[in-house]
Amino acid sequence: MSQASSITLTDHLRILSQKITSAALALGRSECHISVQKLYRVVLLSWFFLHTAILIPYHAQIWGPDAYMINYPFDSGRILSWLTDLLSHHQIAPYYLVFVVGQLVSLGMAIFGFKPRLMMPLIWFFTQNLNAKAGVIMDGGNNLSEILLFYLLFMNTSGAPLGLEKYPKLRALAVGFSNAAFFLSRFQVFIVYLTVGLYKLNGGLWQNGMALYYILQSKDYTHPTLGGFLVAHPWLAMAGTYYTLVFQAMFPYFVWNRRTRPLILLMGTTLHLGIAFVMGLFTFGLVMCASYFVFFREPWARFVLETCSARTPVVAGVDSSCRFCMVWAKAMKFLVRGDLLVVDDALDPSNPVLAAVTARAKFTGMVVIDAVSGETSTGFEAVRRLCSRSVILAPLSMALAVLAYLGLGDKLYNAITARRQRLGGGSDQCILEGKK
Amino acid sequence: MKEIFLGLIGTAVAIAHGAMTVLYLSPPNLLSNQAIGVVKSYMQPLFYQDWHLFSPDPGFSTTQLWMRCGQDESWGPWFDPFSKLLEEHYATRVTGRGKLLYVYNGIGRGLYEAMGAQQKACGADEERCSEENLAVEVTETSHFDLASRFASDVCAALHIPARNADSFQIRVVDLTPKKFSQRNDPAPWGAVKAIDFPKRPILTTKDRKLTATAEKGDAP
């Protein structure tokens, strides 16, 4: 008799109960997506910031009391109106700018990590009120963003595990809710595509591949050049229609598989950027791309966060004979928080950490040493690591990481450093090279 | 043990909420028909969602608001007040003009939908349901009040040379693209439907105050 058949039903039940218990414990204890949740918060809130910021030039026409929209009366008997629909009240409506500024300030603070847990309810409050006032400008992207913002309220987006070790019960509750909110955010994006995919599969114009051909003839959802080109070439419009259909039908299944996830997210990003710029649904296209960050894997998110805003201090050694390098170092000292950067002369370092670095590393023009891990970077990687210490330079740091990934970083760096004397207007002879 | 249950509360909430979302979005079936009242009252205040997004069949007609200003029965030409804004939106996407167009297009679309609702409610009475009569009925709606406020502001700002405009007229135009089989026809659109609303005098400050009071819901 085989070993498997000797296991009794009681054993099977015991194994099952152990698995359920460990899963339940994991839900209350394990925080597996700390970096993903932080990155997702930054990206989603940045979208909210952008959405409001681009409307500021037209604020009176969007949220003002005299905006050309039908104003529905304030329902004082509905409790939720006092929380989410205050701008419908004629005595509060003239002060709409308080809500706009309040939203932008709280968003800015939360994006840069200043008291995000305190800011989140404020952001939700201001956003709900502004959106309720300007209902006519709301599209599917706003609908999704409102729901995702609500889930974000319950998520631990600090980028660090929840403390609360002294209060294990409270911690279990908080971690359980954070995990649930994170899962619901993924589920919400999943259900958007499941629903829209099923609807589209039932649409005659989507089935025969003509949907895009007709949509792009509407003046509201086209671009004279790009849309006109697709309409003039119906085969391309048909390919676009089927691409949309295949992507939306596949998304709900392929996004859960770790191997197919990058492909499906890349397909979605191209589709939604097309919607943003060809159809002109700019904020809709961007928020759909922003929602994909909730599907990032922990190592990807950690890499992005590390690339954009590393918090460990570094010592930078700069070739003092190169004026260009010195100007760069001075600029970095201005842009990077004081406690995160020490700049020293690579030739004659006073800093003991830098002095210990091998002579070869110093001859690359720039060397950066992580003061915590001791990791040494030179050349292009050193520049990237330096940029990653500045919040302002976060987008540049990300672009540099892409260049490095493509293998173009070192080529670019070498091309610049080879001309550094000419670029900086320094002496003809490089002291570093002379010493070498 | 308590920690396990506390950790599971979040999961239970997520499962219940997920089930509500599925029921809310699912097409009518035995389960959703039974629970639709509870599901709607739970979902609609904060979790309202609609994911039709150009499906099942996308809307592709263009509804535009046109208008003209007049003085002493002398009328200026019909014009589309948002054409410049649309051109600017085509030129640069990274601005809020797309959303601003939602606001302005909403005026014409509201009138067009109000007209459709009147037509639907009217039934088969041909005399009463003529387009002209329905357009008069639509002038009683808040959509026409909004359009009047807009048109009055535009006409007041534009002027007719040397004299101020004293009246306006609104036209809603619905443009349907040509069918694929008609793509080589010389006409720019497959179908054009224009609804002319009755001429109206430009709103005075007093008129505006009355409209605003009615909108606030505390009219006498």
SS3 for chain B, per residue?
CHHHHHHHHHHHHHHHHHHHHHHHHCCCCHHHHHHHHHHHHHHCCCCCCCCCCCCCCCCCCEEEEEEEEEECCEECCCECCCHHHHHHHHHCCCCCHHHHHHHHHHHHHHHHHHHHHHHHHHCCCCCCCCHHHHHHHHCCCHHHHHHHHHHHHHHHHHCECCECCCEEEEEEEEEECCCHHHCCCCCCCCEEEEEECCCEECCCHHHHHHHHHHHHCCCC
Query: What is the rounded average pLDDT for all residues in chain A?
Result: 87
What whole-number percentage of chain A has pLDDT above 90? 52
Going by pLDDT thresholds of 50, 70 and 90, the confidence category of residue A436 is very low
pTM here is 0.85
**E strands present in A54-156:** none
Verify whether the Cβ–Cβ distance B49 to A147 is below 8 Å.
Answer: yes
Identify all chain B residues contacting A84, using CB atoms and an 8 Å cutoff: 46
Identify all chain A residues contacting B67, using CB atoms and an 8 Å cutoff: none
Hey, is the C-beta of B59 within 8 angstroms of any chain A C-beta? yes
Whether A119 contacts A105, CB under 8 Å = no
C-alpha distances (whole Å) from A148 to each of A45, A153, A189, A197 are 10, 9, 9, 20
d(CA A242, CA A200): 10
Whether A347 contacts A321, CB under 8 Å = yes
The interface predicted TM-score of the complex, written ipTM, equals 0.90
Partner residue opposite B9 with nearest CB, options A173, A192, A217: A173
| Nearest in space to A402 (alpha carbons), one of A378, A384, A376 | A384
Closest B-chain CA to A52: B96
Please determine, for residue B145, whether its predicted confidence score (pLDDT) is greater than 90. yes
Please determine, for residue A219, whether its predicted confidence score (pLDDT) is greater than 60. yes
Please determine, for residue A433, whether its predicted confidence score (pLDDT) is greater than 50. no
Distance of CA A33 to the CA centre of its chain: 14
Q: At what angle do helices A261-277 and A282-291 cross, to 10 degrees?
A: 170
Distance of CA B168 to the CA centre of its chain: 20
Partner residue opposite B61 with nearest CB, options A57, A176, A218: A218
Q: What confidence score (pLDDT) does residue B128 get?
A: 78
Identify all chain A residues contacting B59, using CB atoms and an 8 Å cutoff: 218
Distance of CA A107 to the CA centre of its chain: 14
What length is written for chain B? 220
C-alpha distances (whole Å) from B193 to each of A241, B173, B197 are 28, 6, 13
Q: Tell me: the pLDDT tens digits for A259-299?
A: 999 999 999 999 999 999 999 999 999 999 999 999 999 98
Tokens of A284: 């809709």
Residue A317: strand, helix, or coil = strand
Under 8 Å CB-to-CB from B169, ≥6 apart: which residues? B67, B68, B70, B75, B196, B197, B198, B199, B200
Which is more confident, B113 or A29?
A: B113
Identify all chain A residues contacting B85, using CB atoms and an 8 Å cutoff: none
What whole-number percentage of chain A has pLDDT above 70? 93
| Nearest in space to B54 (alpha carbons), one of A264, A195, A269, A135 | A195
Phi then psi dihedrals of residue B71, to 5 deg: -145, 125
Q: What confidence score (pLDDT) does residue B160 get?
A: 57
| CB neighbour burial string for A403-421, b if at least 16 within 10 angstroms, e if fewer | bbeeeebeeebeebbeebb
Identify all chain A residues contacting B142, using CB atoms and an 8 Å cutoff: 70
Q: Tell me: the pLDDT tens digits for B59-103?
A: 899 999 999 998 888 888 999 999 999 999 999 999 999 999 999
Hey, is the C-beta of B162 within 8 angstroms of any chain A C-beta? no
Whether A130 contacts A93, CB under 8 Å = no
Verify whether the Cβ–Cβ distance A191 to B46 is below 8 Å.
Answer: no
| Nearest in space to A49 (alpha carbons), one of A253, A256, A215, A287 | A287
Please determine, for residue A194, whether its predicted confidence score (pLDDT) is greater than 90. yes
Hey, is the C-beta of B84 within 8 angstroms of any chain A C-beta? no
Please determine, for residue A304, whether its predicted confidence score (pLDDT) is greater than 80. yes
Partner residue opposite A172 with nearest CB, options B6, B56, B110: B6
Q: What confidence score (pLDDT) does residue A435 get?
A: 42
Number of Cβ atoms within 10 Å of the Cβ of B166: 15
Q: What confidence score (pLDDT) does residue A367 get?
A: 85
Mean pLDDT value of segment A358-373: 76
Hey, is the C-beta of B150 within 8 angstroms of any chain A C-beta? yes
Q: What confidence score (pLDDT) does residue B219 get?
A: 34
Going by pLDDT thresholds of 50, 70 and 90, the confidence category of residue B206 is low
Find which of A29, A33, A70 to mutate to test the B interface (most B CBs within 10 Å of its CB).
A70
Strand order through the sheet with A376-378: A341-345, A314-318, A366-370, A376-378
Beta-carbon pairs below 8 A across chains A and B:
207
Task: State the smallest CA–CA distance between residue B76 and chain A in angstroms.
Answer: 23
Tokens of B152: 């009055």
Task: State the smallest CA–CA distance between residue B125 and chain A in angstroms.
Answer: 30
Verify whether the Cβ–Cβ distance A69 to B146 is below 8 Å.
Answer: yes
| Nearest in space to A179 (alpha carbons), one of A66, A28, A357 | A28
> Could you check whether the bond before residue B56 is cis, i.e. omega within 30 degrees of 0?
yes
Which is more confident, A196 or A163?
A: A196
Please determine, for residue A100, whether its predicted confidence score (pLDDT) is greater than 50. yes
Identify all chain B residues contacting A177, using CB atoms and an 8 Å cutoff: 9-10, 13
Whether A401 contacts A308, CB under 8 Å = no
Verify whether the Cβ–Cβ distance B52 to A62 is below 8 Å.
Answer: no
Task: State the smallest CA–CA distance between residue A46 and chain B in angstroms.
Answer: 15
Whether B180 contacts A210, CB under 8 Å = yes
Partner residue opposite A210 with nearest CB, options B90, B142, B180: B180
Going by pLDDT thresholds of 50, 70 and 90, the confidence category of residue B217 is very low
Verify whether the Cβ–Cβ distance A139 to B102 is below 8 Å.
Answer: yes
Mean pLDDT value of segment A298-315: 84
Going by pLDDT thresholds of 50, 70 and 90, the confidence category of residue B208 is low
Q: 19-38 in B: which are within 8 Å (CB) of A?
A: 21-22, 25
Query: What is the rounded average pLDDT for all residues in chain B?
Result: 87
Verify whether the Cβ–Cβ distance B4 to A28 is below 8 Å.
Answer: yes
Task: State the smallest CA–CA distance between residue A217 and chain B in angstroms.
Answer: 6
Whether A296 contacts A39, CB under 8 Å = yes
Tokens of B122: 């009217």
Closest B-chain CA to A148: B47
Please determine, for residue B110, whether its predicted confidence score (pLDDT) is greater than 90. yes
Going by pLDDT thresholds of 50, 70 and 90, the confidence category of residue A71 is confident
